[in-house]
C-alpha cells in the first residue's frame, strides 16, 4: 500500500492507494470524503462509541438527489472503429457513464462512421476533402458544433489519422484523449501509425509493446500519458500478430480510461502528469 496525500482535487484528504496494472491508482478516501447511500446508513445520526463516525468529526453528509448527468463524448474515427465499438459496448453495459453525442470523421464512409449511423449517432465530416471543401467543416465550425450544438465534454480519438487543429486543442484543454498502439514516448510521432508502429517495434528488438492512452496537445503523440498496458513481443512475431495482441489490450484499456474521465477520476499532478484513480 502506498499513502498519497492531497492527490484528489475534491478533498485533498489523505488517500490510501495502490497501483493497478495499467498505472491507475486504486484509492480509498478517508472516511467522510465520499459518502454512498449505504455509507450514510452506516454513518447515520446516532454514532456508535468507538467508531469513526462521531457527529462532531463528521457533519451530516449531503447526498445528491440524482446521479450526475452522463458526460457527452465526441468520438473521432478514420477507420474500422473497433475502439469506438469497444467504448460503445462499455457504455451499453453501464461501465462508462457517458454517451456518444457525435462522431467526427475525415472519411465519412469508414467503418466507424457507418457503425455510428447504424446506432443513430450523428456523423460530421472534418476536415473536408481537398476536392470538395464544401463537404466538411472548417476548424472553427467544428469547435462551434462540438461545444454549442452537441455540448461535448470530452473528445475521444479512436484511430483518427488527421492532426487535431489548434483551435480544438485550446477549446478542449486536458479533455482530448488519444490511443496509440505502442509504448510512448518510443515509436510515436509523425509517420508512426497503424502497422508501421508494430514494424518499428519488431525491428528495434524491443521485448515489450502495448497501447498508450494519452492526452492530446498540438503535436503527434507527445501529450501527457494517462495509462499503458504491456504485451510481450516474440522473436518470431509478424507485425500483424503483434498488432492483434496490442489491439486486444486497447479494447480493454480505452473504455477504462474513458470511464475514469466520465467519473471525474482523473486528477493532475502539479508537474502536469495525469493520475487515473480506480472506481474501487
Positions touching ligand GRF (CB under 6 A) are: 79-83, 112, 158-159, 179-181, 211, 247, 250
Number of residue whose CB is nearest ligand GRF: 159
Q: 13 or 251, CB closer to ligand GRF?
A: 251
Distance CA 135, CA 177 (A): 26
Greatest pairwise CA separation for the chain in angstroms: 76
Whole-number minimum distance, CB 133 to ligand GRF, in Å?
26
| C-alpha distance from residue 167 to each of 85, 100, 152, 153 (Å) | 27, 21, 15, 16
Catalytic residue among 58, 119, 151, 180: 180
* Residue ranges in the chain assigned as alpha helix (H): 37-42, 82-92, 111-118, 139-144, 166-171, 195-204, 239-262
Backbone angles phi, psi at 151, to 5 degrees: 50, 50
- What are the backbone angles phi and psi of residue 66, rounded to the nearest 5°? -145, 160
3-state secondary structure of 246: helix
Q: Is 180 a catalytic residue?
A: yes
Would you say 247 and 82 are in contact if contact means Cβ atoms under 8 Å apart? yes
Comparison of 79 and 98: residue with beta carbon closer to ligand GRF: 79
| Closest CB to ligand GRF among residues 128, 247 | 247
Residue nearer to ligand GRF on the CB measure, 8 or 105: 105
Rounded to the nearest whole angstrom, what is the least distance from the CB of residue 212 to ligand GRF in the complex? 9
Least CB distance from residue 110 to ligand GRF, whole Å? 8
Give the active site residues.
180
Amino acid at each position: 500500500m502506498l499513502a498519497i496525500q492531497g492527490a484528489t482535487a475534491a478533498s485533498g484528504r489523505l488517500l490510501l492507494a495502490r497501483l493497478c496494472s495499467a498505472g491507475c491508482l486504486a484509492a480509498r478516501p478517508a472516511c467522510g470524503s465520499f459518502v454512498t447511500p449505504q455509507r450514510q446508513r452506516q454513518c447515520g445520526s446516532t454514532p456508535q462509541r468507538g467508531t469513526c463516525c462521531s457527529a462532531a468529526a463528521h457533519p451530516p453528509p449531503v447526498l445528491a438527489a440524482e446521479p450526475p448527468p452522463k458526460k457527452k463524448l465526441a468520438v473521432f474515427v478514420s477507420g474500422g472503429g473497433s475502439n469506438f465499438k469497444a467504448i460503445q459496448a462499455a457504455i451499453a453495459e453501464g461501465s462508462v457513464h457517458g454517451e456518444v453525442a457525435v462522431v467526427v470523421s475525415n472519411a465519412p464512409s469508414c467503418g466507424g462512421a457507418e457503425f455510428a449511423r447504424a446506432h443513430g449517432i450523428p456523423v460530421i465530416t472534418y476536415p473536408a476533402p481537398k476536392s470538395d471543401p464544401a463537404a466538411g467543416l472548417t476548424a472553427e465550425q467544428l469547435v462551434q458544433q462540438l461545444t454549442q450544438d452537441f455540448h461535448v465534454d470530452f473528445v475521444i480519438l479512436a484511430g483518427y489519422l488527421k492532426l487535431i487543429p489548434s483551435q480544438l486543442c485550446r477549446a478542449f484543454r486536458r479533455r482530448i484523449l488519444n490511443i496509440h498502439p505502442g509504448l510512448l514516448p518510443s515509436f510515436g510521432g509523425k509517420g508512426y501509425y497503424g502497422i508501421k508502429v508494430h514494424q518499428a517495434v519488431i525491428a528495434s528488438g524491443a521485448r515489450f509493446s502495448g497501447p498508450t492512452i494519452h492526452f492530446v496537445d498540438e503535436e503527434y503523440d507527445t501529450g501527457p500519458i494517462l495509462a499503458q498496458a504491456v504485451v510481450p513481443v516474440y522473436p518470431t512475431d509478424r507485425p500483424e500478430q503483434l498488432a492483434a495482441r496490442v489491439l486486444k489490450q486497447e479494447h480493454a484499456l480505452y473504455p477504462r480510461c474513458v470511464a475514469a474521465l466520465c467519473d471525474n477520476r482523473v486528477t493532475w499532478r502539479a508537474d502536469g502528469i495525469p493520475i487515473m484513480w480506480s472506481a474501487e
